[in-house]
Structure 1
Amino acid sequence: MNTTLWIVTGLLAAVALAGGISKTFIPKEKLAAHSGGEWTNDASVGFIKTLGVVELLAAVGLILPAVLDIAPVMVPVTAVCWVVLMVGAMITHGRLGQFKLVMVNSVYLALAAFIVWGHFALEPFTG
């Protein structure tokens, strides 16, 4: 089970890293021009960049605490935060009628929920 948790955590961290890089470093106009980026039309540049930084921090928080064995409980805590972020993303995309993206976000939410369940119930980090 531990291997499965690491694989899922790595996949979710990669998703968070990709999303964080794009929101942090790609201009708002370019994001808005792509399919799925329409939500940025109603968001400020500061909000978009903040979401990007939050996603970058999530990528770090999903991996480094366990790898460095410094507060590894932060891995499932970060996954809980990702669940909350995905609920917001699902609401945002749902309001725009982007149901494919709602489904993608629900998969990311499920991965994060698996990490939470796995590390709090099945394979808790022990010190």
Structure 2
Amino acid sequence: MNIALWIGQGLLAVIFVASGTAKSTQSRDRMLATGQTAAKIVPLPLMRVAGVSELFGVLGVILPWATGVARVLTPVAATGLAVIMMLAATVHGRLREPRNIAINMAILALAVFVAWGRFADL
């Protein structure tokens, strides 16, 4: 189970490093061109906050468990990433983008798996 959870944590890290970096550094037009369609209706400052939150979530989902320091932060960070995915699915629902909602739900399931597994390991 530990290996599956580490794989999940790694996948979350890769996904959210890419997404968080894009949201926190790119212009609205560039985000739209690269598939961040939420930028159509979400104000740019809120996109920046979401991006930075995702990057902090990446740190939280990896570092505490890897170092053994404040391990409770790993499942808390995974829970936070799950909340971000619920909010993203809501935005994509308003945009009528079922494919993006499905992707959000898959990432949400992965984040819940990591949170559940790591809370159980505490």
Q: Which amino acid aligns with 2:84?
A: L
Query: Taking structure 2 as the reference length, what is the TM-score of the superposition?
Result: 0.93
Alignment of 1:15-34 (within 5 A): 15-34=15-34
Partner of 1:102: 101
Q: Which amino acid aligns with 1:91?
A: T
- Distance in 2, matches of 1:5 and 1:107, equals 15
Decide which structure has the larger Cα Rg and report it.
Answer: 1
Partner of 1:116: 115
Aligned residues between the structures? 122
Q: Which amino acid aligns with 2:93?
A: G
Q: Which amino acid aligns with 2:13?
A: A
- Distance in 1, matches of 2:42 and 2:91, equals 11
Runs of 4+ in 1 over 3 A off after TM superposition: none
Q: Which amino acid aligns with 1:38?
A: T
Structure 2 residues without counterparts, runs of 5 or longer: none
Partner of 2:62: 63
Identity %: 35
- Distance in 2, matches of 1:16 and 1:58, equals 8
- Distance in 1, matches of 2:43 and 2:94, equals 18
Query: Taking structure 1 as the reference length, what is the TM-score of the superposition?
Result: 0.90
Partner of 1:75: 74
